[in-house]
Structure 1
Amino acid sequence: MTIEVRDGVTVIDGRPHVLVTADYPYYRDDPSVWADRLRAMRDELGIEVITSYIPWRHHQPDADTAPDFTGRTHPSRDVLGFIELCHRLGLKLVAKPGPFIHAEVTYGGLPDWVCPSTDPGIEPLLDAEGRPSTWSDGNGRPNRPLPAPLGPAFTAKVTEWLSAVGKVVLDATTHPDGPVILMQIANEGIYTNGARSLSAYDYSASGLAFFRERLRNWYGTLEEYDRVHATTSATWDDIEPPRAWEEASIPEQMLTYADWGRFHTEYTAEIYRRWADAVGCSVPVVVNLNPPTIEELDDWLVRVRPETWQHINYGFTNWMGVVSTDPDAQARYVIAAKRAPGPNLEENWGFSVLYDESYADATTSYHQTLLALAAGATGFNVYTGAGTSGWLPDLDTAHASPYPDCAPIAADGSPTEKAPVVRVLADFFALHGEEFLECAPVTGGAFGVYSPYAGIAAWAGPEREGIPQCGEALRAFHTRMRAEGVDYALVDLETATPEQLAVHPSVTVPGGPFLHRHVQDLLAGHLATGGDVVLDGPVPALDEKLRPCTVLADALRSRSSDEAAEPDGGPVRVVSGHADAFLRKHPKRDVQYLTVLVQNDNDAPVRVETPHVSVELVSARGGAAVVRLAGGKLDDFVVKGLNGFLSSAVPASITVGDAGLTADRPADLARVHGVVRQLG
C-alpha cells in the first residue's frame, strides 16, 4: 500500500480519497473500552481512519524518566497497544505527537518541566513588548509562559521527545506494515497561535537571531539593506523588528513591516520542518491551521504560506463560530478552505458546553462540514468521534467528563442521534469522493494574495490612506463574489505559475507602491493571453527592491476594454430562500456536485439555478444539502430536515427538474448508491 498527498489530496494505492476521519483521544479513556469505542466509530459512523494526539505530558511526566509508550507506568499510556488495536480492527491512523497539542490538555500537552518558569534555562516566547506569551488552562490556574520554539534548551528537549515517538512508536507502525498513514505536527500554528497578530511573537533572543539571519539571506549585504530601507546600520544586530505601527509614508519605511511578515512565513516553515525531521516518520506530514480572525486576517495570510513548506502539507480546523448564522465566520471558514488544498482536520462534532449550544445538534457540524468541502477541503474530521471519561487528573483539571459532551458516540459507547448523520456523509463520500475531488469548482475569478502587503497591513490596520491592503481587500472580494453567486479561488502571487493563473478568467490583485518584478511579469502575461487583472488600489511603479518597474502598469494601459475573460459557466444563483450555493463540475463527464448551505433564519423552500438545471429543496433551518447531478438529473444526495437546536423539523425534499423525492415525515433524507434513507 502506498500513501501520498498530492495537491492536498490523500492518495492511497494511486486512488484519491476524501479523507474522512474521526478523532479519539485514547489517553482520556480507560484502555478496557478502547476496542469498543473504535468498533463503534467504525461500524456506527462508517469511519475508516482515526486521528489521535500523543500527548507529551501524558507519556513523559518526569524529565528524568524515558517516555512510557507501553503502559508500564499506567495502562492509558500504552499507545503502542492502542495503535495495534487500530490495526487489528482494520482502522488507519493519523498520529499527532505535538509537541504542543491544545486538545484541552493541561499546558497544551507540554510537560511542566519544559515551562520556563520551572526551568530558567528554557527561553520564554516573547511578544513585541517583551512579555512572555502564556498558556491558560482555565479553572483558575495561572497562565504559564510558553517556551521559545527555537531556543536551544527547548529545541534539545523537544527533539528528544519527537525522536522517541518516531523511533519507538511510529517506525514499526507506519504503512504498509502498520496503520499509521499520516503524521500531524504542531497544533494550529505552533502553540494554537497561527491566527494571532504578528506582534504576539517571536521577540525572544532565538527568534530575533533567526530574523536577522534571514535578513542577511534576503539582502546579502548591509549596504543593500540600508539602500532599500533608507537606513544606516553598523551591524545586522543593530536592526530591530517593528514593535508597533509608526507612520510609514514611503515604501522604504513600509518594507520594515513586510520584512517581519516574511520572517513569520519562514519562521513557521522552519519550525514545521525541524519538528517533522525530528520525528523522521516515513508517511506524509500535515498541519492543522486554525482559520483567521477577520481582525487579524492579514497576520494569518502572511504567516500561512503552504507554498513555502516543501514536504509539509496544509490542513485546517474549525473553532471559529457558527457559519450558518455569522457571515464573518462563514468568510473565515471559506478562506481557510481555499487558502490551499487540504483536509479539515478538526470539525467540532461534540462540544456544545465548551463552545456553542448549537453544536448539541448535528446540523451545525453537518452544515460546516459541507461548506468546507464545497469551498475546497479534501476531507473532514469528526472531533471527537466518541465521548471519553476517566483521564488522569494531571492531564486535564479544567473540564468535566464526558469529553466532549455530545459526541456521535456517547461516553458509554452508545450511538447518539448524531451517529447516522456522520454515517450518511461518510458513506456518500466513500462512494463519490474520488469523483467529487476530480470535479473542479465552478469559479468566476481569483484573488491574488500578496504577502508583503499583508505584512504591512497587519501593522497598519484597515483604511489607512496610502497604505497597501490585502486582508481587507480579500474580505470585500469574498462578500462581493458570494453576493453575485460566483465562487472564487485564492492564489499566492509570489509562487503562482502562468498555468495556475490561466484557469482563472479574472484575477483581483491588491494595489500599492511596489510589486515583485516577476509578479508583474506574471500578471502582464495573464493580460496578454486574454485574462483580466483587476487592481484594487494604486498601480505599482516599483519592484520588490524598490527599483522602477512599470511592467504591470504598461500592460494595463494597453489592455482593450473587450479583452476581459468571462466566468466559466456563469453564476449559481439562489433565487428563493436564504442560502448559499457552490457548484463543482467534472472536466470529462456530465456530472456536477451542488452544495446548498441553508441559513438559520430560513423557513422557505430554497431554489437554486445553476447554468444547466434548477434545483429546489426543503431543509431545516441551518441545514444543508449535497447533491450529485448526472446528465442534468438527480442522482445521490443528502438533505438535512431536522435541527433540534432550532426546533426546526420538516420532511426533507429535493427536486431536480420534474424528478424529486420527499421524506414521508419530518426527517433527514438521503440517497446513497440509489438506496433511499430517512434519518430521524
Structure 2
Amino acid sequence: MRAADRPADLRRDLVVSGEIHYFRLDPAEWADRLDTAVRTGVTAVATYVPWLVHELPDGTFDFGQRHPHLDLVRFLDLCAERGLSVIARPGPFVMAELKNEGLGYSVLRRNPEIRAAGWDGERRPETIVDYLHPAFLAAVDTWFDAVIPLLAAHAVDRGGPIVGIQLDNEIGMLPWVTNRPDLSDRTVAEFVEGLVATTSREAVQARYGVGATSFDVTDPATWGPALRSPVDEQVLALHRDLGRFTRDRYARYVQHLRAGVRARGVGEDVALLVNIHGCWGERATMFPLGISQLHRTWADGDTIPGTDIYIGDLDLDTLPGLWTSTAFLAATCRADQPYGVLEFEVGSGDYGEALDVTTGPEAAGLKLQLAIAQGGSLVNYYLLAGGRNPELFEPVGDGNDRIAFTGERHGFAAPIRPEGDLATWFAETVHLTEAVTDAAELLRAARPERPPVTIGFVVDHYMTEYRYPGSTREAEFVAELERFRGSGPREIMTRALVVGGYAPDATLLDGPDALADLPTDRVLALAPTPSLDDDLQRALADWVRRGGRLLLSGPVPQHDMEGRPATALIDALGLDVGPTHAATPGRTPFVAPSITPDGPAWQGAEVAVGFAQPLTTRRADAGTAPLAHLARTGEPCVLDIGLGAGRVVVAAADLPCLPQIWDALLARLGAHPRIRITSDSRGVVVVPCRTPDDVEVVHVINVSPWDTAVALERDGRPVTDEPIALARRSGTWLVRRSGETRARVAYRPPRG
C-alpha cells in the first residue's frame, strides 16, 4: 500500500496531508493509523514534535531510547514505507492543547527572566516570552541541537520522508489573544533605542514625553514604567510604533530559527513553513491580523506560509472572512510562492464534547475546494486522527499530570477517533480527498484568472492586537478599525463581490509606494476606515490620476493612524464630508438611488443603512455625479467622481448586499464579472482558473442552504451545454480543454 510514487514537493505540487500525533498513540497503533490515512487519499502526514514531550526531568531528550511512544525515527520509517511524505513541526512552541504551549518545563524554570511583562507591569500565567531574549534563544538552540539533526537525517534529500519543517507555531498569538505585549525592560530599551536610531532623541522625547508622563529619553529607568502605563496623549503613537516594532522582531526571530534549521543539516530540498493564527469565535474575519503580524517572516519568498482555519461550516456568513483571509495571504506572497492551510479543520467541531457545536460533513469539502480555487497548494487536515495524552514524566500537580489540558482522550472530533474507529463522515472525507489528489496536477497548474476587482489590504488597519486597557481613546480607535476594515461594514463589500461573480483577489497596501506597480486595468475596492495615512491617501489619488478606478466602501478617511487630520484623498477629490448619520435605537437612516442621465443609478427602493455620510463637492466641473442620497434630506452619500484619467466611486454608506446596487457601482467603474452567474440562489461562488497551456478550470461552489440550477456565461456564450444542478452546500468544478467549445463537469460530490 503506497500513497504516492514519489515524495511530495511542497513548492510545486498540490499536497493534501493529515495531522497524526505519534506521541499521542501507542506505537502498536502507528501502522494502523497510517494505513487508514492512506485510505483517505492524503499523500503526506504532518506531526508536531513537542519539546515538552521529549524532554526528560534531567534535561536530556528521549527520542525512543527509553520510551517507545517517543520513537520518532520508527514513526518516520513507517510513513516512508507507505509512501507518505512528512511535514515535521518541532516548535519550539507547539500549542496543540499541550501544557506550557509545548515548551519544555525547564525553559521557564531555568530562565524566569524571559517571561514578558505586559501592561502596567502585569505578568500573565500564559507562556508569553521575549522571543529574542538571549536566554530563550539559547534554550531553543539546545532543543534544536537535539531534534533538528534527527530530522535532517530523515529528510527527502537523504532518502527520508521529511519534505517540510515548520518554523515555530502561531508566533505572536498568545500576546494577541491576551492583549499582553512584551513590555519587559529589555524589550522596551530595544524599542526606544530603535526609535532614537531612526529619528532622534528630540523626536522621541516629543513623541512620548507628553501629557502626565514620566518618560525621559535620557533616563532609561523611566522608559518601562511610562510605556507600560501610557497616557492618552501617547496611546496612538505607541499603538503604531509598538505594532511595527513587534512585527520586525517576529521577522528576526524567524530568521534565527531558519538559520538554525539550515545550519543543523536541513538542506534546501526541505521546504520551511510559517504557521499563521487568527480565527476567532468560529470566524476568519480577524484572521488578517495574524497575517499582518507575520507577513514579513515569509517575505523572502523561500518560506511557505499556511493559515489555521477554524470556522465550522462555510456559509454566507463565514464566506467573506475566509475569502479575504486567503486573498490577503496571497497578496503578501510572491507570484511563484506557494501558500496553503497548515491547520485545516476537518472534524465535527465538537471540541469540548458538549454537542454544542456540530459542523456538517460537507463543510470540509466546500472549504477544501475554495482553498484550492483561490490558489492554495497545501492543505493539512487537522486533526486527521485522534489519540490519548500520556502522563508527564515529571508530575506537576495540576489535577491530571498529563501532557495536555484536554484530559486523556484527544482529537475526539477527528475523522479517525482516538480508539481508531471511524467517524460517520469518514467516507465523505475519503471521497473529497481522492477527487482532489486524482486531479492534483491539473488543479495545481490552474491558477485563478486575473479578476476585474482587487481588494486593498491595508496592513496597518489590522495592527490591533494590543490596546492599553486604561485608554478609552485607543479602545474607540480600535473599534472603528475592526468595524470598517478589510471587507467593509458587515463584510458586505466582499460578500457582494464574491457571490456576484467577481472573484476578487487582493493587493498589499503597506506604505506610500504600495500602488506604484498596481495595474490600472481593474478596480481597486477598498474599505478605508475613518483612519488612513496621508501618504497612502496621496498614493491612491495618484494611482487614480494615472487611470486607476477606485471603489471606496465605508466612511471616508479624514484622519491618519495616529488620530491627526489627514485629508489628502478628499482634497484630491474635492469633497467635504458632513456629520455622520448613524442608526440608533428608534432612528434609522435610509438611502435612495439618485437619478442620473441614464435613469436611476440602480433599480430599487429606499434601503436602510447603518450609517451614511453626506458628501458635498467643491468642484465646479461636471466630473461628479450623485448616485445615491439620504432619503429624507436629499444629501448625496454615494458619488461618482472623475480624477485625471481615472474614476472613483465613493460609497459613504453601509449599503446592503443587493446585486443591483453593487453591479451598478462596479459598472460605473467598468468592472464586470468574467463569468456571469444566473441562479435563483444568492450563494453561488464561481472562480475561473486557467493553466499555462490554456486549460480552463471553473470552480462552482454553492454555500447556500438551497438547491439550485446554475447557468454560467462567458463573453456572451454559455460555459456548459445545460445549467448545472448544484445541491445545497456542495461544489463542483468544470474543465474545458483546448478545442472544446463547452466545459464539462469534472467532479460532483456524493449526496446522501
TM category (shorter chain) comes to 0.7 to 0.9
In structure 1, what is the equivalent of residue 614 of structure 2?
Answer: none
In structure 1, what is the equivalent of residue 137 of structure 2?
Answer: 155
- Preserved contact between residue 120 and residue 229 of structure 2 (Cα < 8 Å): no
Counterpart pick for 1:515 among 533, 538, 562: 533
For the pair 1:623 / 2:612, whether they are aligned, the reply is no
Higher mean C-alpha deviation, range 71-80 or range 223-232: 223-232
In structure 2, what is the equivalent of residue 26 of structure 1?
Answer: 22
Secondary structure of the 1:68 match is coil
In structure 2, what is the equivalent of residue 493 of structure 1?
Answer: 509
Distance of aligned partners of 1:299 and 1:350 in 2 relative to their CA distance in 1, 3 Å threshold: closer
Higher mean C-alpha deviation, range 25-34 or range 632-641: 632-641
For the pair 1:322 / 2:313, whether they are aligned, the reply is yes
Shift of 1:37: 2.1
Counterpart pick for 1:193 among 174, 187, 192: 174
- Preserved contact between residue 594 and residue 629 of structure 1 (Cα < 8 Å): no
- Preserved contact between residue 40 and residue 415 of structure 1 (Cα < 8 Å): no
Distance of aligned partners of 1:382 and 1:513 in 2 relative to their CA distance in 1, 3 Å threshold: closer
- Preserved contact between residue 291 and residue 332 of structure 1 (Cα < 8 Å): no
- Preserved contact between residue 445 and residue 488 of structure 1 (Cα < 8 Å): yes
Shift of 1:494: 2.2
Counterpart pick for 1:108 among 101, 104, 107: 101
Secondary structure of the 2:180 match is coil
In structure 2, what is the equivalent of residue 347 of structure 1?
Answer: 344
In structure 1, what is the equivalent of residue 652 of structure 2?
Answer: none
Counterpart pick for 1:596 among 701, 705, 711: 701
What is the CA–CA distance in structure 1 between the aligned matches of 2:515 and 2:539, rounded to whole Å? 7
Shift of 1:95: 0.7
Distance of aligned partners of 1:444 and 1:267 in 2 relative to their CA distance in 1, 3 Å threshold: same
For the pair 1:579 / 2:697, whether they are aligned, the reply is no
Aligned length: 608
Query: What's the CA shift string for 1:301-324, capped at 9, x where partnerless?
Result: 642424764344311011234333
In structure 1, what is the equivalent of residue 494 of structure 2?
Answer: 478
- Preserved contact between residue 540 and residue 553 of structure 1 (Cα < 8 Å): no
What is the CA–CA distance in structure 2 between the aligned matches of 1:462 and 1:592, rounded to whole Å? 47
Shift of 1:246: 6.5
- Preserved contact between residue 507 and residue 534 of structure 1 (Cα < 8 Å): yes
What is the CA–CA distance in structure 2 between the aligned matches of 1:380 and 1:127, rounded to whole Å? 35
- Preserved contact between residue 94 and residue 180 of structure 1 (Cα < 8 Å): yes
Shift of 1:403: 3.1
What is the CA–CA distance in structure 2 between the aligned matches of 1:188 and 1:390, rounded to whole Å? 21
- Preserved contact between residue 292 and residue 462 of structure 2 (Cα < 8 Å): yes
Q: How does 1:437-586 map to 2 (within 5 A)?
A: 437-441=445-449, 443-455=451-463, 459=467, 469=481, 472-476=484-488, 477-482=493-498, 484-494=500-510, 496=514, 498-502=516-520, 504-508=522-526, 510=528, 515=533, 517=535, 519=536, 523-524=540-541, 526-535=543-552, 537-538=555-556, 554=572, 558-559=643-644, 566-567=670-671, 569-570=673-674, 572-573=676-677, 575-577=679-681, 579-586=683-690
- Preserved contact between residue 735 and residue 743 of structure 2 (Cα < 8 Å): yes
What is the CA–CA distance in structure 2 between the aligned matches of 1:61 and 1:439, rounded to whole Å? 48
Larger radius of gyration: 2
What is the CA–CA distance in structure 2 between the aligned matches of 1:457 and 1:30, rounded to whole Å? 40
Letter of the aligned partner of 1:472 in structure 2? F
Counterpart pick for 1:55 among 29, 36, 50: 50
For the pair 1:81 / 2:93, whether they are aligned, the reply is no
Counterpart pick for 1:334 among 299, 323, 336: 323
Letter of the aligned partner of 1:323 in structure 2? L
What is the CA–CA distance in structure 1 between the aligned matches of 2:713 and 2:41, rounded to whole Å? 32
What is the CA–CA distance in structure 2 between the aligned matches of 1:462 and 1:371, rounded to whole Å? 36
What's the TM-score, normalizing by structure 2?
A: 0.70
In structure 2, what is the equivalent of residue 386 of structure 1?
Answer: 385
Q: Which runs of 5+ in 2 are unaligned?
A: 1-6, 331-338, 393-401, 574-640, 649-667
Query: What's the CA shift string for 1:316-359, capped at 9, x where partnerless?
Result: 011234333x71x3333223212223111111223543167665
Distance of aligned partners of 1:291 and 1:102 in 2 relative to their CA distance in 1, 3 Å threshold: same
Distance of aligned partners of 1:243 and 1:46 in 2 relative to their CA distance in 1, 3 Å threshold: same
Counterpart pick for 1:290 among 249, 255, 277: 277
In structure 2, what is the equivalent of residue 667 of structure 1?
Answer: none
Secondary structure of the 1:134 match is coil
In structure 1, what is the equivalent of residue 710 of structure 2?
Answer: 607
What is the CA–CA distance in structure 2 between the aligned matches of 1:623 and 1:206, rounded to whole Å? 53
Letter of the aligned partner of 2:104 in structure 1? P
> What is the root-mean-square deviation of aligned Cα atoms in Å?
4.1
- Preserved contact between residue 114 and residue 122 of structure 1 (Cα < 8 Å): no
Shift of 1:410: 7.1
Shift of 1:262: 0.9
What is the CA–CA distance in structure 2 between the aligned matches of 1:413 and 1:90, rounded to whole Å? 23
Q: How does 1:115-130 map to 2 (within 5 A)?
A: 115=108, 118-119=109-110, 121-130=112-121
What is the CA–CA distance in structure 2 between the aligned matches of 1:494 and 1:230, rounded to whole Å? 28
Secondary structure of the 1:443 match is coil
Shift of 1:573: 3.5
Shift of 1:627: 3.6
Shift of 1:244: 7.9
In structure 2, what is the equivalent of residue 668 of structure 1?
Answer: none
What is the CA–CA distance in structure 1 between the aligned matches of 2:389 and 2:8, rounded to whole Å? 36
In structure 2, what is the equivalent of residue 41 of structure 1?
Answer: 37
Distance of aligned partners of 1:588 and 1:511 in 2 relative to their CA distance in 1, 3 Å threshold: farther
Q: How does 1:402-413 map to 2 (within 5 A)?
A: 403-408=411-416, 411-412=419-420
- Preserved contact between residue 276 and residue 291 of structure 2 (Cα < 8 Å): no
What is the CA–CA distance in structure 2 between the aligned matches of 1:573 and 1:462, rounded to whole Å? 43
Shift of 1:379: 2.4
Shift of 1:275: 2.7
Shift of 1:436: 4.5
Query: What's the CA shift string for 1:359-394, capped at 9, x where partnerless?
Result: 575322222222333344332122222333474463
Letter of the aligned partner of 1:584 in structure 2? P
Distance of aligned partners of 1:546 and 1:228 in 2 relative to their CA distance in 1, 3 Å threshold: farther
For the pair 1:395 / 2:417, whether they are aligned, the reply is no
What is the CA–CA distance in structure 2 between the aligned matches of 1:616 and 1:461, rounded to whole Å? 54
Higher mean C-alpha deviation, range 579-588 or range 430-439: 430-439
What is the CA–CA distance in structure 2 between the aligned matches of 1:559 and 1:567, rounded to whole Å? 19
- Preserved contact between residue 292 and residue 463 of structure 2 (Cα < 8 Å): yes
Secondary structure of the 2:87 match is strand
Letter of the aligned partner of 1:272 in structure 2? V
Distance of aligned partners of 1:503 and 1:262 in 2 relative to their CA distance in 1, 3 Å threshold: farther
What is the CA–CA distance in structure 2 between the aligned matches of 1:463 and 1:111, rounded to whole Å? 36
In structure 1, what is the equivalent of residue 660 of structure 2?
Answer: none
Secondary structure of the 1:72 match is coil
Distance of aligned partners of 1:178 and 1:567 in 2 relative to their CA distance in 1, 3 Å threshold: farther
Shift of 1:93: 0.9
- Preserved contact between residue 165 and residue 279 of structure 1 (Cα < 8 Å): no
Secondary structure of the 1:474 match is coil
For the pair 1:637 / 2:746, whether they are aligned, the reply is yes
